[in-house]
Chain A
Amino acid sequence: MANDREVLREIWDGKIPICFHLAQEEIMEIQQPDPFYVMVPRLSYFPLVTDKMKRHFLRYISQENADNEMWLDYNGQALKWHYPIGFLYDLFCGNDPQLPWTLTVHFTKFPETVLLHCPNKDVVEAHYMSTVKEADVLKHRGQVMSTMQKKDHNQLWLGLQNDKFDQFWAINRRLMESHGDNEGFKHIPIRIYTDDGISCQRLISPKNNDGSRKTVQQLLSELYPDKPEVKLRTHGVLIPLDTPLQWLSEHMSYPDNFLHICLC
Chain B
Amino acid sequence: MDATEIEFLAEKFPITIVPNFAQEKLYLISGDVGPFNPGIPLEVPMWLGMNLRQRGKCRLVIPPWMDAEKLAEKKEEESQSKVFTEMPCEHYLVVAQLLLSAAPEDIPNSQQVKTLVKDMWDLRISKLRSSVAEFIKIEGTHAKLDRLTLLEINSIRPFLPHAFDHLHRLSKAAYTSKLSQTQEL
A is bound by B: no
Q: What residues make up the interface of A, taking CB atoms closer than 8 Å to B?
A: none
